Amino acid sequence: MWSDNETAQDYLNFGTVAATVAEIIENARDRPVSIGVSGVWGVGKSSLIKLVHAAIEQRAVVNGGADPSKFIFVEFNAWLYQGYDDARTALIEVVASALTKEAESRKTGLKKATALMKRVEWFRVMKLTAGTAASIALGLPPTGLIGEAVAIGKKLLDGEADRETLEEGGKIIGEAHEQTKGLLRDRQVISPPKEIEALRRGFEETLKEMGVTLVVLIDDLDRCLPETTISTLEAIRLLLFLKHTAFVIAADDQMIKHAVKRHFQGVEDKLVTNYFDKLIQVPIRVPPLGTQEVRAYMMLLFIENSSLEQQEKENLREGVCTQLSKTWQGSRVDTKFIATHHGRKLPDDLLARLDLADRLAPLMTSAEGIAGNPRLIKRFLNALSIRMSMARAQGVSVDESELVKVLLFERSGSTKAYADLVKAVTESDGDGKPKFLAQLETVAATGNDAKLQAPWDDKFLQDWLRLPPSLSDRDLRAALYVSREHAPLITAEDRLSAEAADLLEGLLEQPAMAATIKPRLAALSRSELVVLMDRVLARARQQQEWGTPPILEALLTLSDIDPAQGQRVAAFMRERPGTQIKAGIIPKLADRAWSTDVFDAWLDDVEVGKPAKTAINNRKKNGDIAIK
């Protein structure tokens, strides 16, 4: 199993991007800078943020580490505050608290940091009044208790207030006083624009006196609801472009733009883009992963969980990242490279998994349900690990390569095609082999995908059919049993009563004795008889010669009980190759009402042998068979 959390380990050669961000911040030399790290969910933004942090710290070492760093880091995850606190005031408080703590430990700038915290208290008052002052300053309507008081005041001025309105206003003003008691200081006049400017100046002066640059790393902004996203962006805007500050914001830019557009309803797309662009000076998009990166990522995950020593793992990781930087020149990261770089024989179980990564990488890159997303790849491998553990715990023997292929199909393949696979396995004659895949695999192997019919004609399934191992001659019951997440594995026996299941077992194991259980079969429901006939017909299809095989007794017994099943037997017999029909079967079928059409079909079939046709004609002459 692998943790789904971000990591400071570089498995994707993101170190070069992190180093670039660190260089930009260092070269800013106290000038404000804002950097946006964009990419879809799970692509590795959080890990890149961790790598940026490490890269800046590495550059920030002063006097061999003896002196304090010239950078102060604040990591802020807005998603954690959602529903518990206002993200705007939470971010400002987190930053101010970090500065105060650093000022205490460095014994410099403490006075200014303390004064800054008092300013932040005022900002908290604005939060308790739902940001009324800030809203007015930003041209937004006041809300919260003060907003309600303002609304009541407007009614008074417009002459619309009655006794009930006045009583409500008194109550609201009292509540507002109670909530802000202890936070408001005795001041003559509070001017929101001046207070906000004083707050910004307080941050700037504190940083200058401490001689540090504040690096704020903001993550998971694209996970937040639009309201939380906007609150955080407003806090960023409040602190943005102050000297000695750097903001690194990790988020999917499309999600951010969606939040802005939803919050400021009716705003044109161009204005939404401008809003975002004003916040972000340096946009950096996490590069999408190609097949080489996906293969390298999976291999490093397997190496991480291997029995190799930690230093060996680190050497391989560094070697893989170096090799990834050369892939544009044609260099490859594959099992051969890993083995060569390691310099000695790798454990057999690790080699098997590296081979698995080598084979899976193209599909993991192109499959719509995964599309080279590192988090989804990790979750897929975790699901595989869980299923294998479940199989071992239940004593189910399952081949890992088969399970991988089935899991991949269930996640990314056509639901209709997957249903076809499950049906073929559950309705097989007790061997669990989806034999219908043989033709599909042959066509896909030749590259003639145009001959594949829906729902097997999409690109993913064509690649999936080529992926080893071939499944047409493999018993997939165990793999389907432990992999099932969406489609339940329902066998014919699951739809039978205990009595019917017992009778089915008797029909398949001792078909020649079917007549002895005829009374018990007759007591079953028609739906159960249909299931029994399904299974008996499946077994009968394996018969290569039709004289008087034991399975014939089971077919005839079921057809005697239910006429509808007799018609199914007749259709089955007409479909048999003529070369399989022997004379011995004619007396067995002669007294069945449905046999006339079967015999006529055999008489017309040039492949049916002369002895069988003679037996049919003799029966007709003797009147044992109705003449058509």
pLDDT band at 155 (very low <50, low <70, confident <90, very high): low
Mean pLDDT of 120-128: 60
Dist. CA 234–CA 231, nearest whole Å: 5
Q: What is the pLDDT of residues 191-243, one digit of tens each?
A: 566 777 777 888 888 888 888 888 888 887 777 777 777 777 777 777 777 88
**Mean pLDDT of the chain, nearest integer:** 77
DSSP assignments along 592-609, one per residue:
STTHHHHHHHHHH-TTS-
pTM of the model: 0.56
Contact, 596 vs 619, CB < 8 A? no
Sign of the four-CA dihedral 258, 264, 268, 271 = negative
pLDDT value for 235: 75
Q: Rounded CA gap, 365 and 357, in Å?
A: 11
pLDDT of residue 546: 92
SS (H, E, C) 461-511: HHHHHHCCCCCCCCCCHHHHHHHCCCCCCCCHHHHCCHHHHHHHHHHHHCH
Q: In the 8-state DSSP scheme, what is residue 546?
A: B
- For every residue of 140-182, DSSP letters joined together read ----HHHHHHHHHHHHHHTT---HHHHHHHHHHHHHHHHHHTT
Strand (E) or helix (H) holding 190: none
Q: How confident is the model at residue 6 (pLDDT cuts 50, 70, 90)?
A: low
Cβ–Cβ < 8 Å for 565, 571: no
Q: Whose CA is closest to 113, among 88, 96, 129? A: 96
pLDDT score, position 138 = 41
**Distance of alpha carbon 360 from alpha carbon 468, whole angstroms:** 10
Region 24-37 average pLDDT:
84
User: Is residue 365 within 8 Å of 291, Cβ to Cβ?
Assistant: yes
How much is the pLDDT for 470? 87
Read off the amino acid at residue 386: I
pLDDT in tens, 510-533: 899 999 999 999 998 888 888 888
Coil vs helix vs strand at 224: coil
Give the residue-averaged pLDDT of 557-570. Answer: 90
Question: What end-to-end distance do the CA atoms of the chain give, in Å?
Answer: 70
Residue 29 DSSP class = T
Whether residue 488 is predicted with pLDDT greater than 70 in this model: the reply is no
